[in-house]
Structure 1
Amino acid sequence: MYVERASRLPGAVVWSRALSGPATAAGPVLPDGCMDLLWTEGRLLVAGPDTRAYVPDGVPGGWAGVRFFPGTAPTFLGVPADELRDMRVDLAELWLPSEVRRLTARVDAATDPVAALEEVALDRAADASPPDPLLREIVTALDAGHSIAATADHLDLSARQLHRRSLAAFGYGPKTLARVLRLQRALALARTGVRFADTAARSGFADQAHLARDVRELAGMPLGELLARSSWLCMALPASGKLPRRI
């Protein structure tokens, strides 16, 4: 079972899956612009920003994670997001291995691994610089459906500056980020029963065929099949900063 809650770390949520009770197979993870700090017994990992659906490998088991609002994880990790695009890597590849071993043992030994992982994130964030507030404005503008040119103009950036900042913060350029956020808006509407044609129009797609193509390319299956899979429960990312759920 998947459970999530707001984190004490601003701009993040904490989640867990099958930490107790019978383990269940994990469903694919949809692109959402986020990055995660992950724990499973004996390992700490990082999930980079996805540009396509990610299907977890290996035997199902207990997992915990801290999911960061788009653009905030690179400051925490000390690594540009584009270096981790479409990747899952051991944290020891990014931080001192001796420190990662100590942190892994700390979470492994905790009565509540989820809370222990959150403490790791809080401790690290206390020593890191805060994320550039401009990044949240980029997400807000693109998620509202503004064009890349309008977003750059509003933020007093050139198109090249916007692209460079987006690569380092989100893992891909503003065009891909806007596409990912548009998909999440569409899924949020479609899951409430909005007709696909209306979903396409309200989400910013040219038409229903455009929506269908994007869903197939980003999610790996038709929209109808995607909605039928309850494990693919992704929520839109509104300007309030609420994070999407992904399993």
Structure 2
Amino acid sequence: MYVERASRLPGAVVWSRTVENPTAGPVLPDGCMDLLWNEGRLLVAGPDTRAYAPGGEPTHWAGIRFAPGTAPTYLGVPAHELRDRRVDLTDLWPTATVRRLHTRIAKSPDPAAELERLALERAAQTPAPDPLLRHLVAALDTGRPVAATADELGLGARQLHRRSLTAFGYGPKTLARVLRLQRALALARAGVPFAETAVRSGYADQAHLARDVKELAGMPLGELLGRAG
């Protein structure tokens, strides 16, 4: 079972998930990074370029999912160093600091809410994320071409790529592809026919949509929708 709510941290989402079925739907690329609590461990989920399947024994997760491009500012680590990885927070922060946070969250009746409080504290202690990156996400999420978006933002291709690696973990073309996948999934889950979903979300045709979903999610779209949750 998965539940979520909007966070008090702008753009973030607070969530919890109990995985009881090893064949439950995978976690899909979404352009985001998460701070996680799982069975007594504090972890960071880096940006994904492929589906991640928790699997294994029944387990409970709590987390805060940061808006795309913001987590590296709060966590103090470039996103590309964590691409397609789940790492212990002790690999990123001093052990003594993480130990105190572990004790704090372990004592909380609501680990997800405690993670949110931690994220708010970090946001108050760090510079605000680059607003240019927020504009980049917004533009790409409407289907704007990467080159045109770079021109609108006043950035050269190399500079945009470098800043995207730091903020998102991959280049702007991969970010655009991930955002397009999420647009398509939202439409398909709402019952929009696959052919119409492809056109409305920016694919050349339904076959293009099918290929992209298979590559990023690891399974056909119909099977993916049937295993959501």
State if a TM-score over 0.5 links the two structures. Answer: yes
Residue 156 of structure 2 is aligned with which of 151, 158, 166?
158
**Greater helix percent: which structure?**
2
Q: Is the CA contact (8 Å cut-off) linking 2:25 and 2:224 kept in structure 1?
A: no
Q: Is the CA contact (8 Å cut-off) linking 1:42 and 1:105 kept in structure 2?
A: no
- Give the equivalent residue in structure 2 for 1:2: 2
Matched ranges for 1:35-114 at <5 A: 35-114=33-112
- Give the equivalent residue in structure 1 for 2:15: 15
Residue 175 of structure 1 is aligned with which of 165, 173, 176?
173
Q: Is the CA contact (8 Å cut-off) linking 1:27 and 1:56 kept in structure 2?
A: no
RMSD across aligned C-alpha pairs, in angstroms?
A: 1.2
Q: Is the CA contact (8 Å cut-off) linking 1:215 and 1:221 kept in structure 2?
A: yes
TM-score of the aligned structures, taking structure 2 as reference length:
0.96
TM-score of the aligned structures, taking structure 1 as reference length:
0.89
- Report the alpha carbon displacement of residue 27 of structure 1 after superposing the two structures with TM: 3.0
Q: Is the CA contact (8 Å cut-off) linking 2:26 and 2:52 kept in structure 1?
A: yes
- Give the equivalent residue in structure 1 for 2:209: 211
- Give the equivalent residue in structure 1 for 2:222: 224
Task: Find the aligned partners of 1:73 and 1:188 in 2 and give their Cα distance.
Answer: 24
CA-to-aligned-CA distance 1:28-73 (integer Å, 9 cap, x gap): 1000000000002321000000000011144221211000000000
Q: Secondary structure at the match of 1:62?
A: strand
**Structure 2 residue identity aligned to 1:189:** L
In structure 2, list runs of 5 or more residues that go unmatched: none
Q: Which moved more, 1:133-142 or 1:122-131?
A: 122-131
- Give the equivalent residue in structure 2 for 1:135: 133
Task: Find the aligned partners of 2:140 and 2:114 in 1 and give their Cα distance.
Answer: 34
4+ long deviations beyond 3 Å: none
Q: Is the CA contact (8 Å cut-off) linking 1:37 and 1:45 kept in structure 2?
A: yes
CA-to-aligned-CA distance 1:204-241 (integer Å, 9 cap, x gap): 1111111110000000001111111231xxxxxxxxxx
**Structure 1 residue identity aligned to 2:99:** R
In structure 1, list runs of 5 or more residues that go unmatched: 232-247
Task: Find the aligned partners of 1:225 and 1:196 in 2 and give their Cα distance.
Answer: 13
**Structure 2 residue identity aligned to 1:13:** V
- Report the alpha carbon displacement of residue 75 of structure 1 after superposing the two structures with TM: 0.2
**Structure 1 residue identity aligned to 2:211:** R
Give the percent of matched residue pairs that are identical in Structure 1 and Structure 2: 75
Q: Is the CA contact (8 Å cut-off) linking 1:15 and 1:66 kept in structure 2?
A: yes
Q: Which moved more, 1:182-191 or 1:67-76?
A: 182-191
**Structure 2 residue identity aligned to 1:212:** A
Q: Is the CA contact (8 Å cut-off) linking 1:33 and 1:181 kept in structure 2?
A: yes
